[in-house]
Structure 1
Amino acid sequence: MAVAWVREEEVTYDGGSSDQDGLWKKVIGDLFEDFVLFFSPELHAQIDFEQSTDFLDKELFQEIADEKKGRRFADRLAKVRLKNGEEQWILIHIEVQSKNESDFPERMFRYFYRIYDRYQEKIVAIAVHTSPYKNTIPKRFTYNYLGTELNYSYRNYRTEAYSNDELERSENIFSKIVLAAKVFHQTRDEAHQRYLFKSKLMRELIRNQNYSRTAVQAVFHFIDYLLQLPEAYTKQLSNEIRPIIREETELMELYNKENASPTIKNAFDLEWEKGVQQGLEQGLEQGLEQGLEQGVKKVVVEMLRKGTPVDFIAEVTQLEKEEIEKMREMLQ
């Protein structure tokens, strides 16, 4: 069944940690299959991921945009194909840094009925809370008034429900996104701990051959912009990462300066600066050697013109007699 939709403007990573909604939207788009597998394995089993996933326009949420002022949300609406051939819409709503808001279930219902009313499509709704606060929000919206009843429930997940150990052991690469979201709160005022986490995770991901390089790149972008570091730590991290990248040719080809995350880009910049410095030093050394050689030959020519014996010239200049004889023949 054909559904009219408008492609969303490309989401980029030009925001900082204050643009968490943009980071979540982008990483869900980049790692959508891993996202579904992590939070809902049974739903993942029904989706045909060999078919492309379409992300529908953000304008679908424009009707309730005014209600979102001062809050942090990341919304994605994905259109997928199930293995049985049917079409399925998946509404993903990410609550970023929210506290307990009693109106959340009602807002989830509003998402549902407005999309359903407009498109008449089957919808799977997923809510993910990244707040470190204990969540006591109901997982359903209920309405009961004078015999009119409504009971709307949705899939509800919290990043805090997963332990750090569990996330570190997980083979699903999206677990590293969830782990980074937790570490963001845990290291808010601890730059050194945040640096240690990023260093460990980035080194592990680079060396893990089970993850595609593009998936690793998506995680790098997310954690680089979410877990920002002071300049000194950033430079130190890039220095650590640079020799690891240099070991693998395929990594050097992938992490180019056009699509690299800040840490990787900085590592390339440092590598480039090092290469330029080495080139300058080598060039200077070669230039001095060439200059000395030309100077010696000029002295030899002058001595030959004045009739200085070849043996004496060879002793003074440390040149071979044969070379001096050739120079004399050329002068003659």
Structure 2
Amino acid sequence: MQQVVQDAESGRRHADKLVKVWARDGSETWVLIDVEIQGEAERAFAEHMYVYHYRVFDRYRVDVVSLGVLTDMTAGFRPAGYRWSRWGCAIEFRFPCVKLLDWQARWSELEASENVFALMVMTQLRAKTSRDAEECSVWTFQLVRRLYERGYPREVVLELFRVIDWMMRLPEGLERQFLTAVYELEETKKMPYVTSAERFGIEKGLQQGLEQGLRQGEAAVLLRLIERKYGPEAVTAYRNRVEQADAETLLKWSERLLAAETVDEVFH
């Protein structure tokens, strides 16, 4: 997707996933999945959905279906299409969107579902709505326990475990308690999925690499959000400051980003 959307006048942009699938009748379809991960509604979301869509079509000349997945917590943010018209020339582009927030009222359905993506939706909702780290820790363990209880293959459990751990990041003290609880759960279930070597790696990562890895990840996310809200020029202007900032400063800037009208307000 990067090759498709680069070199635009507005700068380099990235879509999340572009996949080729086959319908039940055997026909080929390309699916563009754009995931809105900002904590607030993005005014230009519908426009860049349209831009991504026509660039894929222009490059490959194939049928493209664009799907939006909204993970923000703004109930009224529900883009459904992009429209433009002037002097009799008009464009109307419509696309379906899924709002994860809608599933909060359908929590029992998620709990009953055997679909692994139900767990991912539950994780995202709890990550957004948990009030404090203790509550987040409780929910993280409950979600991981469901992985073990549903009998998924070891590879699936470990992959989803990593995703949940990434989405529900806990402070170091609670992280250790959480891992201890997971080890005890494995012993009870007789499912030693997390090996001794992996446990050692996790512990070592907590002691040596957690701070640096988190800071780099937070910087990358902040730069992406700045690009999507203010444009690539803002990223160019502030990239060095973001990449050199400590974790506390990155958090402060991220919080300012939610309400700032201009990029200068974020950093001053």
Normalised by the size of structure 2, how large is the TM-score?
A: 0.66
Aligned in 2, Cα 1:166/1:231: closer, same or farther, shift over 3 Å?
same
Counterpart pick for 2:173 among 217, 224, 232: 232
- Which has the greater radius of gyration? 1
Q: Contact 1:256/1:265 (CA < 8 Å) preserved in 2?
A: no
Counterpart pick for 2:2 among 27, 34, 58: 58
Partner residue of 2:138? 196
Deviation at 1:247, TM superposition (A): 4.7
Q: In 2, Cα distance between the equivalents of 1:264 and 1:87?
A: 42
- Specify the SS of the correspondent of 1:162: helix
Partner residue of 2:101? 160
The number of residue pairs the alignment matches comes to 202
1:121-165 CA distance string (max 9 Å, x none): 111111111111223343011122222222111121111011233
Deviation at 1:114, TM superposition (A): 0.7
Q: In 2, Cα distance between the equivalents of 1:105 and 1:132?
A: 17
Partner residue of 2:194? 255
Counterpart pick for 2:124 among 169, 181, 193: 181
Aligned in 2, Cα 1:83/1:205: closer, same or farther, shift over 3 Å?
same
Q: Which runs of 5+ in 1 are unaligned?
A: 1-56, 270-332
Q: Contact 1:238/1:263 (CA < 8 Å) preserved in 2?
A: no
Partner residue of 1:215? 156
Counterpart pick for 1:126 among 58, 61, 67: 67
Aligned in 2, Cα 1:120/1:141: closer, same or farther, shift over 3 Å?
same
1:4-55 CA distance string (max 9 Å, x none): xxxxxxxxxxxxxxxxxxxxxxxxxxxxxxxxxxxxxxxxxxxxxxxxxxxx
Q: Which runs of 5+ in 2 are unaligned?
A: 207-268
Q: In 2, Cα distance between the equivalents of 1:144 and 1:115?
A: 22
Aligned in 2, Cα 1:137/1:145: closer, same or farther, shift over 3 Å?
farther
Normalised by the size of structure 1, how large is the TM-score?
A: 0.54
Q: In 1, Cα distance between the equivalents of 2:96 and 2:196?
A: 39
Deviation at 1:264, TM superposition (A): 9.4
Amino acid at match of 1:180: T
Aligned in 2, Cα 1:117/1:158: closer, same or farther, shift over 3 Å?
same
Q: In 2, Cα distance between the equivalents of 1:148 and 1:104?
A: 22
Q: Contact 1:58/1:76 (CA < 8 Å) preserved in 2?
A: no
2:51 is equivalent to residue 107 of structure 1: no
1:277-332 CA distance string (max 9 Å, x none): xxxxxxxxxxxxxxxxxxxxxxxxxxxxxxxxxxxxxxxxxxxxxxxxxxxxxxxx
